[in-house]
Amino acid sequence: MILHIEDRYSEQEIYVFYRDHYIRVPKIIYQYGYAQGKDVVKLWKGMEQISLTIDSNNPIYERKLSPKLRYINDNKLYPNYKPVDITSLTFDIEVYNRRGFPDPNHDKIISIAYVYEGREEVISEEDEGQLISKFFDVIRAYDPDILVGYNIEEFDLPYLLKRAKLNNIDINSISRYDLPVLSNIIPGRIIFDVYNLINLMSKFSLLDLDEYSLSHVYYKIFNEKKIELDRERLWEIWDRDKKSVIAYNLSDAKATDRIYKKFLPLILELSNLSKMYLQDLIRSYSSKIVENLIIAEGYDKFIIPDEEYREEDSYQGGYVLTPNPGVYNNIAVLDFASMYPSIIVSNNIDYYTYKDGEFLKSPLGLIPSILKNIIEQRLSYKAILRERKDPGLEAKVQALKILANSFYGYMAYRRSRFYIKEGAEKVTQIGREMIKNVISIANQSGFQVIYADTDSVFLLYKDENDVYEFLDRINNKLEGMMRLELEDLYVRGLFVAKRDEEIGAKKKYALLSKDGKIKVRGFELLRRDWCQLAREAQQQVLKMILIDNNPSQAIEYVKNLIDDIRNHKIDYEKLVIYNRLYKKIGSYQRVMPEVAAAKKLVDAGWDEKSLLNRVIRYIIVDRQGRIADKAEPLELYLKNNLKYDPEYYIEHQLLPAITSILSSLGYNDDQIKSGFKQHRLL
DNA sequence: GCGAGCAGCGTACCT
DNA sequence: ACAGGTACGCTGCTCGCG
């Protein structure tokens, strides 16, 4: 089994890493284009094959395919990982520093925890040299294929290597072979950063996170708290109570290991299916993953186009029906299974099949043939899973779903190699026609359609059987792999008006299912830029409306909450607002609260670079000025013992989240306000 | 000089 | 660093008042 293929060690050679040996192969760099080493390349345009002699007069093809990618595809050396064959060691380091951030030039490592195949241990020595040596002994003894950790690429690994060097320890001794350890590269071992994994899983919508810290991620996934410790005071705690630092260290390593193990089957399946090595996949993103698969599948038959820059060129997307605000009973939600992937396959929409403004009926294009295969595989595995349980197969089904859903976006992505805007446009156009068709047939059949978004419709029904009949009628007319499915039947549902408007808000609703669960979409309670206080209150009010049908109970509940806020009874954790910073602080046109909060962190000594792409946490404090002026980063709020602004949390967080729901029930603003005010006077 | 009104920036969400 | 459609808070400007 090949673990990884690496081309970064040398200008001339590619390294293929197996577990107990590696081989080196020369990089082949072609001066004029490339096609299996021949002079004549097969060029496919409109699915017609053209032969072309490559010489200095003719265009250069595939010049931007890296030698590594060519080597893998020429020799068909694709990954084939099996979870049982892979050994991994998860570790975490703790550092002793009295102020600010740990500095590898001065602050020593005091403790290293690791987990390996169920064994867990903490190495903690007074002498840092001995500590690191012992850990290196462990790595050599267990000889893991993968080194796992949380943010190890940015922090633990470079820190460890730097400290090892300062202690005159040979860092190359943890290399598997006679190749040197470079920063972040340990020859023969895959560096697997769970932080990258979490980001990838979030992009695939498998995780929904307020922030990306280990504690938060662990809690969100397992609903358990790991041991917490104030990192700023870690040195102090170490001086008087080493045991609790050691326990904390181990807790972090175990938490990281548990997250890693949970997602490993899926990530290995994704790796095998997308033909991308684990080391590359974990640092990648969905467009690169799909691209890798398309290149692998099309390599022998097609010239792979270069990446190119294109100007923005937008087009129309899915159809969304405006709902009327209010409460509805007996709602059926129907949706098309894998709508866009199915449209791509059924209509042969592809970079190569586009000719004279249309998509050829045959032969099957590259993306459609890959997608067809993926959809069919997934359906057959799902059929097996209905017969028996099989966790390995479940991971495969999930990985296939992730891949299938990535193709449409990739062909519409302006920097994609296989960009075909006409294709993306065609996909959404057919999608719009299909959903509008379902809506009109539903209306003709006597159903009231209350909402629709892209591939789903919500309709009111009197008898369940009418819904099943309707589904059959639609599906009998549908061709190919298109299928309309029953997502679920709901007892009740709520749609709200847009803020300060009469018409209903799209992409915002709550549904009560038969088993008493509430399915919420779009509401503030799902948004990390609303504080927990407002989110929890909205959740409660939704329950009181949808389950108990008791609006006055909701008003009473909110009244009490307002009192608690005024009396400063609210725990600071419920007041934190989260916002991710996507740009450099200086490049914002408007200083929004999260930008102002980030600025305050930088002023207090935080490294600006470390804040980019991170979630900023802030609380609105009691002070004069704009909201931005009042936004205090959590770290400084706690450090300086500040007080939150009750009026902000009442007027800008709690009430907006609640009144949109109550006003959709027919209460006007005055009634709601007086409901709260009455109490204020008491 | 000041507050009201408003455009549009920016984020997070839905499919 | 995969798409478009959408809601909405907030900043920072314009404008009218005087």
List residues bridging with A193 in a β-sheet.
A149
Identify the helix (H) or strand (E) that includes residue A135: helix A128-142
- Give every CB contact of residue A446 below 8 A, 6+ residues apart in sequence: none
Tell me the average confidence (pLDDT) per consecutive run of 10 residues in chain A, 682 residues long: 92 93 86 49 72 64 82 94 94 93 94 95 94 97 97 95 96 94 89 96 94 95 93 91 96 97 96 97 96 94 87 94 96 97 97 93 94 96 94 94 97 95 97 98 97 98 97 94 96 95 95 97 97 97 94 89 94 96 93 96 92 95 93 95 95 94 79 61 32
Pairing mode, strands A146-149 and A190-193: parallel
* Closest by Cα among A658, A533, A664 to A675: A658
- Give every CB contact of residue A372 below 8 A, 6+ residues apart in sequence: A345, A364
CA atoms within 13 A on the CB side of A374: 30
Region of residue A246 (phi > 0: left; psi between -120 and 50: alpha; otherwise: beta) = alpha
CA gap A330, A326 in Å, rounded: 13
The pLDDT assigned to A681 comes to 34
CA gap A113, A253 in Å, rounded: 6
The pLDDT assigned to A679 comes to 47
Nucleotide nearest the Cα atom of A590 (by C1'): C11
The pLDDT assigned to A89 comes to 98
Please give the angle made by the CA atoms of A15, A92 and A257, to the nearest 5 degrees: 80
The pLDDT assigned to A682 comes to 29
Please give the angle made by the CA atoms of A389, A391 and A395, to the nearest 5 degrees: 125
The pLDDT assigned to A130 comes to 97
CA gap A505, A521 in Å, rounded: 11
CA of A640 to C1' of B13 (A): 34
Nucleotide nearest the Cα atom of A589 (by C1'): B9
CA of A410 to C1' of C3 (A): 8
The pLDDT assigned to A303 comes to 82
The pLDDT assigned to A680 comes to 43
The pLDDT assigned to A57 comes to 63
Q: Which domains does chain A have, with CATH numbers?
A: 2-81 (no CATH), 83-271 (3.30.420.10), 285-314+351-418 (no CATH), 316-346+420-522 (3.90.1600.10), 526-673 (1.10.132.60)
CA of A548 to C1' of C10 (A): 35
- Give every CB contact of residue A428 below 8 A, 6+ residues apart in sequence: A315, A316, A317, A318, A340
- Give every CB contact of residue A338 below 8 A, 6+ residues apart in sequence: A375, A404, A405, A481
CA atoms within 13 A on the CB side of A153: 12
CB A194 within 8 A of CB A150: yes
Sign of torsion, CA A484 A488 A494 A498? negative
Order of strands, sheet of A320-321, starting from the edge strand that comes earlier in the sequence: A320-321, A448-453, A456-460, A326-336, A484-497, A504-513, A518-521
CA gap A20, A379 in Å, rounded: 38
The pLDDT assigned to A40 comes to 53
Which nucleotides of chain C are near protein (any atom < 7 Å from a CB)? 1-12
Alpha carbon separation from A482 to A302, A341, A379, A380, A402 (Å, rounded): 29, 10, 13, 16, 19
- Give every CB contact of residue A659 below 8 A, 6+ residues apart in sequence: A669, A672
Nucleotide nearest the Cα atom of A456 (by C1'): B15
CA gap A63, A34 in Å, rounded: 8
CA of A633 to C1' of B2 (A): 31
Beta carbons within 10 angstroms of residue A328's beta carbon: 20
CB A546 within 8 A of CB A494: yes
Q: Which amino acid is at A311?
A: E
Please tell me chain A's helix, strand, coil percentages from 3-state DSSP, rounded to the nearest 5: 45, 20, 35
Which nucleotides of chain B are near protein (any atom < 7 Å from a CB)? 8-15
Which residues neighbour strand B (beta carbon < 7 Å)?
A 205, 208, 318, 335, 453-456, 507-508, 520-522, 526-529, 578-583, 588-590, 592, 594, 615
CA of A68 to C1' of B2 (A): 66
CA of A600 to C1' of B1 (A): 30
CA of A626 to C1' of C13 (A): 15
